[in-house]
Structure 1
Amino acid sequence: MPGSTVASPVRRPERIPPLTTGSYYEPVDEHRYKPTGHASGAWDPGEQHFSPLAGLIVHAIDRHVAARPGAGPAALSRISFDILGRLALDECEIRIGTVRPGRTIELVEAVAVIAGRPAVRARAWLLATGDTTAVAGGTADRLPPPGTLRPWPLTSVWPGGYIASLDVRPLAPPQPGRATAWVSTGLDLVAGQSVGSLASYIALVDTANGIAVRQPPTAWMFPNVDLTVHLHRRPEGRWTGLDTTVTFGPAGQGVTSTVLYDLAGPVGHAQQILTVRPLPAAAPD
Structure 2
Amino acid sequence: MNEKSARTSPFYRLTSPSGRTSEGAVEAFESLPTTAGPWSPDSQHGGPPAALLARAIEGLSDARIGRFTMELLGPVPVGPVAVSASVLRAGRSVQLLGAELRDVARDRVAATARAWMFPRSAGPGGDPEPLPHSPADGAEHPRPSGWHGGYLDAIEWRWISGGLEVPGTGTVWMRSPDLVVGEPISPVQRLLACVDSASGASAALDVREWGFLNTELTVHVLREPVGEWICLDAETTLADGSVGVATSAVHDERGLVARSAQALLVVPRSGQGAASSSS
Establish whether TM, by shorter chain, passes 0.5.
yes
Indicate conservation of the 8 Å contact 1:177/1:247, yes or no: no
Structure 1 residues 56-93: Cα deviation after superposition (integer angstroms, max 9, x where no partner): 11112222325xxxxxxx11100000100121111111
Residue-pair matches, total? 252
Superimposed CA distance per residue, residues 14-53 of structure 1 (whole angstroms, 9 cap, x where no aligned partner) = xxxxxx8721100011211111111111222211111111
Matching of residue 149 in structure 1 with residue 138 in structure 2 = yes
Contact 2:82 2:101 in 1 (8 A): yes
Deviations 1:143-198 (A, max 9, x none): 4111122222344584231112221112124452201110113x321001233121
**Equivalent residue number for residue 257 of structure 2:** 267
Once residues 33 and 192 of structure 1 are traced to their aligned partners in structure 2, the CA distance between those partners, rounded to angstroms, is 13
Q: Look up the match of 1:166.
A: 155
Contact 1:152-1:167 within 8 A present in 2 as well:
no
The question of whether the paired residues in 1 share the 8 Å contact of 2:9 and 2:154 is answered with: no
Q: 1:158 to 1:265 in 2, by over 3 A?
A: farther
Q: TM-score, normalised to structure 1's length?
A: 0.82
Q: Is the aligned partner of 1:220 residue 2:216?
A: no
User: 2:37 & 2:16 partners in 1: Cα distance?
Assistant: 24
| Corresponding residue for residue 34 of structure 1 | 30
Counterpart selection for 1:276 from 244, 256, 266: 266
> Could you list the per-position Cα deviations for residues 211-267 of structure 1 after superposition, in whole angstroms to 9, with x for gaps in the alignment?
122223331111100000001111121111100001122111100010010110001
- Residue 253 of structure 1 corresponds to which residue in structure 2? 243
| CA distance 1:258–1:156, change in 2 (3 Å) | farther
1:25 aligns with 2:16: no
Which one is further off, 215-224 or 152-161? Answer: 152-161
Cα gap change, 1:178 to 1:119, in 2 (>3 Å): same
Residue 47 (str. 1) matches residue 43 (str. 2): yes
Partner of 1:15: none
Is the 8 Å Cα contact of residues 228 and 270 (structure 1) preserved in structure 2?
yes
Q: In the alignment, is the contact (CA less than 8 A) between 1:34 and 1:92 conserved in 2?
A: yes
Secondary structure, counterpart of 1:201 in structure 2? helix
Determine if the alignment matches structure 1 residue 123 to structure 2 residue 114.
Answer: yes
| Structure-2 separation of matches of 1:143 and 1:97 | 41
Letter in 2 for 1:111: E
TM-score under structure 2 normalisation? 0.84
Quote how far apart the aligned CAs of 1:136 are: 3.1
Aligned alpha-carbon RMSD (Å): 2.0
- State the Cα distance separating 1:141 from its structure 2 match: 4.6
Instruction: Determine the C-alpha separation between the residues in 2 that align with 1:209 and 1:147.
Output: 23
Q: Distance in 1 between matches of 2:187 and 2:129?
A: 22
Q: Give the distance between the partners of 1:183 and 1:198, measured in 2 at CA.
A: 14
In structure 1, list runs of 5 or more residues that go unmatched. 1-19, 67-73
